Structure 1
Amino acid sequence: MTTTEWLRTLVPLVADLPQDIPEAERYRRLLHTLRTLFPCDAVALLRLDGDALVPLAIDGLSRDTLGRRFKVAEHPRFATLLAAGQPMRFEAHSPLPDPYDGLVEGLRGELDVHDCMGCALSFEGQVCGLLTLDSLQRGSFTDAHLTVLQAFGSLASATVGAALRINRLAALARHEHQRAESYRRAAGRPQRELLGHSPAFKQLMREIDLVGPSELTVLITGETGVGKELVAQALHARSPRADQPLVSLNCAALPDTLVESELFGHVRGAFTGAVSERQGKFELADGGTLFLDEVGELPLAAQAKLLRVLQSGQLQRLGSDREHRVDVRLIVATNRDLAAEVRAGRLRADIYHRLSVYPLPVPPLRERGRDVLQLSGFFLEENRSRLGLGHLRLDADAQGALLAYDWPGNVRELEHLIGRSVLKALGRHGERPRMLTLTAADLGLGTAPALAPEEVAAPVAATPSPAPLPTLGGRRLREAVEQAEHQWVGEALARHGHNWAAAARELGLDRANLIRLAKRLGLYESRRERRVPR
């Protein structure tokens, strides 16, 4: 390529620098130009985020690469490039493992002898990322290419810098993420963040960016496992309260007798076992954000007190007459239809309107298209690091199986599936392979879960067949549903001798939720009520 052709190729990138271009498009143009200038099969632009490199854009690599987080300490090639201070080329027979082994598109098996070079990118005097180039053809890169990469690296740094300056909201989100990540590392908790590129996911992120900086109460809705808690964390990170605490409470995990104490606190002697004074979640979240998960499970008594806090910011600890004032931004989540709960009398209408100021639906995984591959990459990298594996990848059939599956359990189901499949694939090898490839058979998405041996051996007559559902018979749907619930719960309790835990397991409910349902249906009897008089 002549100097004139080279300059003609770079001019559009220079012209793009002051333009307000979407970040993804800016990076796409950068990599397209890079592949025009250099004889390479795969290129990647990575941002340095703490101790890990995060892919911003890729060309020629498997799409699940975007979901991976490459810890610099675990990838010596990346560490060498970051420390070099100038572009460098690795020898074809370099003993350093390649982070992209198994990720180059169109290549089956291990990444054999090949050419690789890259350079560190800087912003405001600090290293901010990497640009990497890989060619499957040995001898593709020369010293002349290194000289060109030196100039191109400066332009790439300017491109990244322009994106950082123009997209101020994205810069703020990254800053908040880095701070939250430092807290997670200090607590020893694994990294978790929202990932995706699908239209449904982008719409969710636009909603988060819009309502996050406000003080509005947000009602996060969605199926089980879609990541409602991560959405709550993202809302908090974008709010002016981001440097204040985010306190979480799962309302479904508490019995009715402890809900008020957990929310509002208690004083010594308020109830049996209250041996000292204790702050509730509202006071702990004062100045910050309180996230109530499964808010539809709150008992009516607690709903009334919650309404008072939302209206006036005042609360009383259980057993105390003293008023406490709090300043809390509330975010709630549920997988229930709260409007239907209001109609059924299980949720107060006034509390419903207070909680649903800004409804924010989270799309299920089956509506997010190829996001499943990006999320799979994230979970693969987690498992690779945790199990001490060299390389972990999905073959083409496995990727197709992930895309075709319906995901009733959403992202949580995907996380568990990847962890389970990695262990199954590892079990197929006598010794740990250098690169472990997951197949569609390892995922097992087309097979039903196996029954336990005792379930297989149990005679069919051991479990009575449920009675047929009652017909409406002129009644309202709610009345028919309540009669069916009464029948099912009553029969389950009778079969298990009023053992609430065993009945709850059969019905697929939490024990506290079953007791709450039984009370509403008039089936609850305390031990004292069931005691036979002498």
Structure 2
Amino acid sequence: MSFSVNVLAKIALELQSGIGHQDRFQRLITTLRQVLGCDASALLRYEARQFIPLAIDGLAQDVLGRRFTLEGHPRLEAIARAGDVVRFPADSDLPDPYDGLIPGQEDLHVHACVGLPLFAGQTLIGALTLDGMDPHQFDAFSDESLRLIAALAAGALDNALLIEKLERQNLLPGPSTTFEPVTRTQMIGLSPGMVQLKKEIEIVAASDLNVLIDGETGTGKELVAKAIHEGSPRAANPLVYLNCAALPESVAESELFGHVKGAFTGAISHRSGKFEAADNGTLLLDEIGELSLALQAKLLRVLQYGDIQRVGDDRSIRVDVRVLAATNRDLREEVIAGRFRADLFHRLSVFPLHVPPLRERGDDVILLAGYYCEQCRLRLGLSRVVLNAAARARLLSYAWPGNVRELEHAIYRAVVLAHAAAAGDDVVLEPQHFNLEAAPAPHVEPVLPTAPLQPLRDATEAFQRRQIAAALDQHQHNWAASARALGMDVANLHRLAKRLGMKA
């Protein structure tokens, strides 16, 4: 059976109309599902030995967040290796990547499955997958008809990739327009906040501006920094990471700028700092708000003049480093409180980026859950890991105070629990596998003191000792994290603890 001219014209029009590639691709597979009468269809992009879903119809929403590696999916590997239409036998032994991901279908052991590889010239750029519960669903359609569909889809996908590449290059000034980025970091999310963030990353990555990335803990600020670096002309050079919160004040300057032999006790040789390691590349200063005011002044000098001095050395070293700074603090408030230099804040925040918390990202929760389900499946060697409808609803109803990091840990824990209770390697995640209920704080009636009163200063200091000890216990004796929990500057916390006799 061949498609009529009207059907082919309709598909072609769907690919030409609309304001965005996502709209066109969605209409394409929706139309294909109607024309072919299949139960599920998907358009996938091929990149770095994996297929990335661009648009789906008839599949669970979390499929959009999954990344299907060739090594983990024999059917998709067969499609990638084929140069033509692939028709899988209805009873094929090869596991289907969508097993358990078509709503209402428990398994796909016997079904019709067709794969159409998409090429730009001789280069594989994607695939169309078609699934039907009737084993003979696609028997009536000739290979020639399916090749026409594949050609139309390949042309649309190739145009979208070309436009994306040209847009990226046009943002780069001067001779850098020939720049080819390295493998790009995947930022999963289709919510308005994430779409806007991705646009801003594309814009600022092409420049050489310093960027301040702010957002709650666990939102993915480091991922944003990686995306900026990978989208920049510096992509082939190092991205160097430094967590300012984990730096004891005594070694922070040496970590940043290096030192010479004999500069201090223990300096037995010359050592380069992070700025030298990041020369011609990018330096990410995570938790920038934890730097002392003295180090902030030295960092400002580097940003202004582009030279550094190793500890114990009078000579200056020129460096060409782009600085990205990340923080979960409100640095404007820190400036007002006198804990952060206003001039450094303005130097860093020429182009600020805000990473939205997960609770504001809507259905991105499901896409990310799909991504982590697939990662768990590969890591644990499972045949499938899927979320049932009730589990998806549970994930959507939770506020995620720990953001994406909490979601990742919740998925991994749920998979381990479900696998332990399952008979085989098929894992279906249900609401009971997620321990997301925050225990309510018990109501405690105030108790009037019955013990003799003590001097106010002694009582205050005893209270301070208890609070500091509790914070250190909760944060594994990390002073910087404990200071944040107590609403203090870490240097002030060290001084207070010493005065209270809690430090030598």
TM range (shorter): 0.7 to 0.9
Q: Distance in 1 between matches of 2:22 and 2:160?
A: 9
1:425 alignment partner, one of 406, 418, 425: 418
Deviation of the 1:179 alpha carbon: 2.8
- TM-superposed deviation, 1:272: 1.4
- Spell out, residue by residue over 1:139-179, the C-alpha distance to the aligned partner (whole angstroms, 9 max, x if none): 11115343311221111111111212223357769x99983
What is the Cα deviation at residue 37 of structure 1? Answer: 2.3
Question: Which residue pairs with 1:355 in the alignment?
Answer: 348
Alignment partners' CA distance in 2, 1:118 and 1:142: 14
Distance 1:342 1:32, change over 3 A: same
Normalising by structure 1, what TM-score?
0.83
Change (3 A) 1:260 1:114: same
The gaps in structure 1 that reach 5 residues or longer are 182-191, 451-459, 468-485
Deviation per CA, 1:439-465: give whole Å up to 9, x if none: 011112236499xxxxxxxxx9xxx99
Q: Secondary structure at the match of 2:97?
A: coil
Match of 2:68 in 1: 70
Q: Which residue of 1 aligns with 2:281?
A: 288
Using the TM superposition, give the Cα deviation of residue 494 of structure 1 relative to its aligned residue in structure 2, in angstroms: 3.8
Q: Distance in 2 between matches of 1:163 and 1:68?
A: 21
Indicate conservation of the 8 Å contact 1:225/1:413, yes or no.
Answer: yes
| Alpha-carbon offset, residue 378 of structure 1 | 0.6
State how far apart, in whole Å, the 2-side matches of 1:218 and 1:488 are.
46
Q: Would you say 1:510 and 2:478 are equivalent positions?
A: yes
- Tell me if the contact between 2:44 and 2:55 (Cα under 8 Å) persists in the aligned partners: yes
Once the two structures are aligned, what percentage of the paired residues are identical?
48
* Residues 13-92 of structure 1: pairs in structure 2 closer than 5 A: 13-15=11-13, 21-92=19-90
Deviation at 1:335, TM superposition (A): 0.6
Aligned-partner Cα distance in 1 for 2:164–2:503: 66
Aligned to 2:153: 156
Provide the residue aligned with 1:179 in structure 2: 182
SS of 2:141's equivalent in the other structure is: helix
Measured after TM superposition, the shift of residue 33 of structure 1 is 2.6
Aligned to 2:236: 243
2:428 is the counterpart of 1:437: yes
Counterpart amino acid of residue 113 in structure 2: C
SS at match of 1:131: strand
Check the 8 A contact 1:28/1:57 in 2, yes or no: yes
Q: Is the 8 A contact 1:17 1:158 kept in 2?
A: no
Is 1:523 paired with 2:491?
A: no
> Which 4+ residue blocks in structure 1 deviate beyond 6 angstroms?
16-20, 170-173, 175-178, 464-467, 486-489, 526-531
Q: Which residue of 1 aligns with 2:122?
A: 125
CA contact (8 A) 1:177 1:237 kept: no
Q: State the distance in 2 between where 1:490 and 1:295 align.
A: 30
Indicate the SS of the match to 2:182: helix
Shift of 1:83: 2.1
Q: Which residue of 2 aligns with 1:456?
A: none
Deviations 1:285-312 (A, max 9, x none): 1111111110000011111111111111
C-alpha distance in 2 between matches for 1:100 and 1:511: 47
AA partner of residue 373 (structure 1):
I
Return the offset for 1:224.
Answer: 0.5
Instruction: Check the 8 A contact 1:316/1:324 in 2, yes or no.
Output: yes
User: Are the structure 2 counterparts of residues 259 and 449 from structure 1 closer, same or farther at C-alpha, using a change threshold of 3 Å?
Assistant: farther
Q: Distance in 2 between matches of 1:443 and 1:351?
A: 43
Which residue is 1:480 aligned to?
none
Name which of structure 1's ranges 156-165 and 332-341 shifts more when overlaid on structure 2: 156-165
SS for the counterpart of 1:258 is: helix
Preserved contact between residue 2 and residue 142 of structure 2 (Cα < 8 Å): no
Helix, strand or coil for the counterpart of 1:144? coil
> Aligned equivalents of 1:397 and 1:442: distance in 2?
11
Provide the rounded CA distance (Å) in 2 between the counterparts of 1:81 and 1:503: 55
User: Match of 1:457?
Assistant: none
1:375 counterpart SS class: helix
Distance 1:395 1:270, change over 3 A: same
Distance 2:416 2:82 in 1: 37
C-alpha offsets along residues 274-329 of structure 1, whole Å, 9 cap, x if unaligned?
A: 11111111111111111111000001111111111111111110110010111111
Find the partner of 1:144 among 136, 141, 152.
141
CA distance, structure 2, for counterparts of residue 119 and residue 208 of structure 1: 33
Q: 1:171 to 1:86 in 2, by over 3 A?
A: farther
AA aligned to 2:129 is: T
Pair 506,43 (structure 1): closer, same or farther in 2 beyond 3 Å: closer
Question: Which sits farther off after the overlay, 136-145 or 113-122?
Answer: 136-145
- Is the Cα–Cα contact under 8 Å of residues 62 and 105 in structure 1 kept in the other structure? yes
Offset from partner CA, 1:220-246 (integer Å, 9 cap, x none): 111000000001111112222122211
8 Å CA contact retained: 2:49, 2:70: yes
Shift in alpha-carbon separation, 1:530–1:329, aligned structure 2, 3 A = closer
**Preserved contact between residue 383 and residue 419 of structure 1 (Cα < 8 Å):** yes
**Aligned equivalent of 1:409:** 402
Q: Distance in 1 between matches of 2:69 and 2:259?
A: 45
Q: Which residue of 2 aligns with 1:165?
A: 162
* C-alpha contact (below 8 Å) 2:475/2:481 kept by paired residues: no
CA distance in structure 2 between the partners assigned to 1:300 and 1:122 by the alignment: 56
CA contact (8 A) 1:267 1:274 kept: yes
The one-letter code sitting in structure 1 at the alignment partner of 2:435 is: G
How many residue pairs match? The answer is 483
1:227 aligned partner: 220
Note if contact 1:255-1:512 (Cα within 8 Å) is conserved in structure 2: no
CA distance in 2, matches of 1:171, 1:218: 18
Letter in 1 for 2:155: A
In 2, Cα distance between the equivalents of 1:115 and 1:154?
21
Q: Post-superposition shift, 1:105?
A: 2.3
Q: Deviations over 1:360-402 (max 9, x none)?
A: 1111001110000000011001100000000000000000001
Question: Residue type matched to 2:182 in 1?
Answer: R
Q: Secondary structure at the match of 2:308?
A: strand
Mapped partners of 1:57, 1:308: distance in 2: 48
Q: 1:113 to 1:307 in 2, by over 3 A?
A: same
**Contact (CA 8 Å) 1:293, 1:332: kept in 2 or not?**
yes
AA aligned to 2:80 is L
